[in-house]
Structure 1
Amino acid sequence: MSRTDIHERVQAHAEERAAQGRQRRRRIVTRRDGVQLEVDGRWLAGFCSNDYLGLALQFEVAAALQDAAAREGAGSTASHLVCGHHTLHEQLEREVAEWLEVPRALLFGSGFAANLAVQQALLTEEEDVCVQDRLNHASLIDATRLAGCRLRRYPHVDAEGALRQLRSATGGAAMLATDGVFSMDGDIAPLRALAQVARSEQALLYVDDAHGIGVVGAQGRGSVAEAGLGVEDVPLQLVTLGKALGGYGALVAGDAELVEHLAGNARPYIYTTALPPAQAAAALAAVKLARRDDWRRERLYELVALFRTSAGRLGLELMPSNTPIQPVLCGSEAVASAMSAALEQAGFLVGAIRPPTVPEGQSRLRVTFSTLHTPQQVQALVVAIADAREQVARGA
């Protein structure tokens, strides 16, 4: 029996992607100035980052990074359980736990690693099951597959569907996992209903709140707090440092016993180098600002409301989202890509999101907002999207 040639497989995949118009390419950003990005020699107004609170370039955050790097160097030199756990890591974990009003938090190098850690450490048997929203982030789906347990998926934001899947998956331990704010649709999971489902079926509810932390709820405490739930309802939640907090890394926060179990048993925690202390210092500064500066969220939601009102007047097809993630539906992949290109010509950088990231027939422009945007930029963007729609329609 002959083996499959990997190079031939890769080439065939590339040809298929090209035929479907689904190639992905990296854009090289030369410089940043607030929401302005220099890309390929042109300055564009960026409406595609996750820097919702404008903290990535904030002075206090950058100064904390520089000061800590000058004192502590570029890296942590080891894993947390060897000699890589620095006092700055400890301070960050305590600050986040206090912010979210939970007993413990544990720092990871990325949200992807954290989601894998939770499932690999807690769902250890083949008969265990993880029930997930169909539109959950890829890292949650991949984590279940890598953990080796059963994966069951329910229709988007359908708590009754989650209940049916849990009841049909008998035996073993059960976890119910959901995004808090969905990264491509911008809507929020029905966490109170899901908490009731998890309680009735003896399942652990785990919320990946990557796009909710810093943005949703009082003091930006996220979608779990916004739903009025505590650690008894949601024993573990993911806090990402690379979205509204403007940095890099993630934490799993919640029940002390479960977090301690992760620290001693989760392979993505044990067998990887700890986050650089300087990065933890920057994140610590960002968390303090996110807790303190309610004006950032207030301005952000004023911009979102302005966008939705202005887009409605011009007949743009939006999705039911009140978060800084505002998808503009385009339908086909070709239309989404063409509109994104037209927007770039007009001076705006907005990503075209296509399958398999979103379902077939639901390609879109993923418009995201930062507190650093101005009302004038938002209104200009809406006009540019409407113009791009007309331009693409004329060329069809």
Structure 2
Amino acid sequence: MSISLTDRLQSELQGLRDSGLLIHPRVLESPNRAHSRIAGQDVINLASNNYLGFADHPVIKERAAAYLRDWGAGAGAVRTIAGTMQIHEDFEEQLARFKHTGSALVLHSGFTTNQGVLGTVLKEGDVVISDELNHASIIDGLRLTKATKKIYKHADMDDLERALRENDTDGLKLVVTDGVFSMDGDIAPLDRIVAVARRYGAVTYVDDAHGSGVLGEAGRGTVHHFGFDQEDDVIQVGTLSKAWGVVGGYAAGHADLRELLINRARPYLFSTAQPPAVVGALSAAIDLVQEDPSFMKRLWDNTHYFKAEIERLGFDHLGSETPITPVIFGEASAAFEASRMLLDRGIFAVGLGFPTVPKDLARIRNIITAEHTREDLDQALAAYAEVGRELGVIR
């Protein structure tokens, strides 16, 4: 006799409870900013991906409102039927200019972008070699392809070269990496990755979810940071949430990439186009970061200060190179308790344990933003000092 839906749901949920992995998301009672409100408490928010403070920025909201008034609440159809408005085309041209690429296409999220692009570019007989710490959306996107899949050790160029050497093909060879790794905050060594890939005739594919809006001139991203933005053998994808403060995904690169994705990428073909307000907000965000360099300056000034002070207190941040700043507590129970203790002190920062991160490297992941003040960071550091000493992580 088959299992009932009720039994299946309850069994799965109980398994999550027993393993301590059942998620109960915190609910924000105010806009997502450096200062937010949770359960009636005002907190300094170190958990958000809102790197540039754009999620509630008045200029971006004003442009979104104008597009809403002028173009309506929704697009009304998929892009290939009747959902492509002039504003969609205009924004994609704006994005391609910003990224210095031959073309750009917008999809609904960074997650679906990986599914759409990998599913379109890769075919049976191709070989794809992926960093072992790549994001779940890359892993899921690759599962949908018929390409031969291989893994190389994280940022290990010798292992990447081994994998390329041992897996030749008459088809396409693709090396896939995050631009910035979301748990450790390290930057992919893209200069070395591209060099190795080129020796074996491979294309490099970069998921820049946490690099776009963070690295490169005016936040053009990891590919620009390393000087590969105008190269046809480098594909960059990413999200339009995080630093850009809104929602969506993009693919940018070779001039022909956009046209092929329009014809083959299933998330694009079978999803209603983005609402006008989203397009307006994104257009404003790209304009704003280029017009005002202070956003990038504050982001990196704050990042350097927080990292230096966390290290001075005696915490391990794994040598993070970006605003993503992990603070290691070791055991998951300690990281979760530290997160609770920080919230009691007005600091919202989320604990992460296995299987999201290795068992002995449970942590709190902090994301520093341009919107934080020095006073915010000092208050957070003081709370970290108290919590770390109470839990015996630092002296």
Q: Distance in 1 between matches of 2:233 and 2:114?
A: 15
Q: Distance in 1 between matches of 2:127 and 2:23?
A: 33
Output one character per residue of 1:215-253: Cα deviation in whole Å (capped at 9) or x when no partner: 111121111111122342643101321011111001101
Output one character per residue of 1:171-215: Cα deviation in whole Å (capped at 9) or x when no partner: 342211111011111110010111112212222211011111111
Residues 1:255 and 2:254 aligned together: yes
Per the normalisation by structure 1, the TM-score is 0.95
Alignment of 1:13-24 (within 5 A): 13-24=12-23
Q: Is the 8 A contact 2:208 2:221 kept in 1?
A: yes
Indicate the SS of the match to 1:152. Answer: strand
Gap regions ≥5 residues in structure 2? none
Q: Distance in 2 between matches of 1:33 and 1:159?
A: 39
Cα displacement (A) at 1:86: 1.1
Alignment of 1:3-82 (within 5 A): 3=2, 7-32=6-31, 34-82=33-81
Indicate the SS of the match to 1:275. Answer: coil
31-40 or 277-286, which moves further after superposition? Answer: 31-40
Match of 1:367 in 2: 366
Q: Which amino acid aligns with 2:23?
A: R
Match of 2:203 in 1: 204
Cα displacement (A) at 1:391: 2.5
Output one character per residue of 1:16-63: Cα deviation in whole Å (capped at 9) or x when no partner: 322222221111111127311111111111001111111111111000
Alignment of 1:198-277 (within 5 A): 198-232=197-231, 234-277=233-276
Output one character per residue of 1:257-310: Cα deviation in whole Å (capped at 9) or x when no partner: 122111111111111111112201110000111222221111111111111221
318-327 or 13-22, which moves further after superposition? Answer: 13-22
- Matched pairs, number: 392
Q: Distance in 2 between matches of 1:81 and 1:33?
A: 34
Alignment of 1:313-328 (within 5 A): 313-328=312-327
Output one character per residue of 1:296-341: Cα deviation in whole Å (capped at 9) or x when no partner: 1111111111112211221111121221100101111101100000
Q: Which amino acid aligns with 1:120?
A: G
Match of 1:348 in 2: 347
Per the normalisation by structure 2, the TM-score is 0.95
157-166 or 245-254, which moves further after superposition? Answer: 157-166
Cα displacement (A) at 1:389: 2.0
Cα displacement (A) at 1:136: 0.8
Residues 1:149 and 2:159 aligned together: no
Cα displacement (A) at 1:7: 4.3
97-106 or 163-172, which moves further after superposition? Answer: 163-172
Indicate the SS of the match to 1:147. Answer: coil
Match of 2:115 in 1: 116
Q: Which amino acid aligns with 2:251?
A: V
Match of 1:169 in 2: 167
352-361 or 374-383, which moves further after superposition? Answer: 352-361
147-156 or 194-203, which moves further after superposition? Answer: 147-156
Output one character per residue of 1:121-140: Cα deviation in whole Å (capped at 9) or x when no partner: 11121x32221111111100
Residues 1:379 and 2:378 aligned together: yes
Percent identity of the aligned residues? 35
Output one character per residue of 1:371-391: Cα deviation in whole Å (capped at 9) or x when no partner: 110111111111211211223
Alignment of 1:181-192 (within 5 A): 181-192=180-191
CA-atom RMSD, angstroms? Answer: 1.7
Match of 1:132 in 2: 130
Gap regions ≥5 residues in structure 1? none
Q: Distance in 2 between matches of 1:168 and 1:6?
A: 46
Q: Distance in 2 between matches of 1:227 and 1:355?
A: 32
Match of 1:105 in 2: 104
Cα displacement (A) at 1:149: 2.7
Q: Is the 8 A contact 1:129 1:173 kept in 2?
A: yes
Q: Distance in 2 between matches of 1:258 and 1:162?
A: 25
Cα displacement (A) at 1:6: 5.2
Kindly report structure 1 stretches of 4+ aligned residues shifted beyond 6 Å.
none
Q: Distance in 1 between matches of 2:362 and 2:241?
A: 25
Q: Distance in 2 between matches of 1:331 and 1:156?
A: 21
Q: Which amino acid aligns with 2:302?
A: L
Q: Distance in 1 between matches of 2:257 and 2:232?
A: 14
Cα displacement (A) at 1:164: 1.5
Q: Is the 8 A contact 1:56 1:246 kept in 2?
A: yes
Q: Distance in 1 between matches of 2:183 and 2:246?
A: 20
Cα displacement (A) at 1:4: 5.3
Indicate the SS of the match to 1:198. Answer: helix
Are residues 234 and 56 of structure 1, via their aligned partners in 2, closer, same or farther at CA, if it must alter by over 3 Å? farther
353-362 or 114-123, which moves further after superposition? Answer: 353-362
Q: Is the 8 A contact 2:33 2:45 kept in 1?
A: no
